[in-house]
Amino acid sequence: MQHECARELKTGGWHWVGSHTTDCRGRGCEPHDTKEEAQNCQYEHELSGAREMTWNSAHPCAECLVNGKGKIWTDKSLQLGGYMGQIVHLCDDCRTIDVLRKHTEPPIDRWVS
């Protein structure tokens, strides 16, 4: 198991630290001033790499449920953060990064394998 989180650096500043594919340093980031900035850096990185998934069953679109369209069923979702990341079911019209941002939050810390 790998613990991923924002950590304060001995040299000052903060980085999101985890596997080589999610580490701020591996992406060439300068140290961040705050823990929240490091978390937001990771969040933006995950949003830019959101993966579309197809399911064997339909789920209601998260955005349509909250914006008054009712239950629009979809077998698609977007996922952030790998295997244990955030998954949001979104129909074809709603499946965008801007909509995904409304239904997700920056990571705080997590254990991944």
User: What pLDDT digit, counting tens, does each position of 29-51 carry?
Assistant: 899 999 999 999 999 999 999 99
Rounded average pLDDT over 2-23? 84
Sheet containing 87-89: give its strands across: 51-60, 73-79, 87-89
Strand (E) positions, the chain? 2-8, 14-17, 51-60, 73-79, 87-89, 109-112
Rounded average pLDDT over 57-66? 95
Q: Which domain holds residue 75?
A: 50-105
* 73 inside domain: yes
Across the chain, mean pLDDT equals 90
Task: Tell whether 71 and 42 lie within a shared domain.
Answer: no
Task: Tell whether 40 and 54 lie within a shared domain.
Answer: no
Task: Tell whether 100 and 59 lie within a shared domain.
Answer: yes
Asked if 16 and 6 count as a contact pair (C-beta separation under 8 A), the reply is yes
Number of domains in the chain: 2
Task: Tell whether 94 and 56 lie within a shared domain.
Answer: yes
SS3 label, residue 85: coil
Residue 44 has phi, psi (to 5 degrees) of -65, -40
- Give the model's pLDDT for residue 19: 67
Task: Tell whether 56 and 85 lie within a shared domain.
Answer: yes
Ramachandran area for residue 28 (φ above 0: left; ψ -120 to 50: alpha; else beta): left
What's the pLDDT tens digit per position in 89-107?
Answer: 999 999 999 999 999 999 8
pLDDT band at 26 (very low <50, low <70, confident <90, very high): confident
Rounded average pLDDT over 11-31? 83
Task: Tell whether 99 and 54 lie within a shared domain.
Answer: yes
- Give the model's pLDDT for residue 20: 58
pLDDT band at 112 (very low <50, low <70, confident <90, very high): confident
Task: Tell whether 35 and 56 lie within a shared domain.
Answer: no
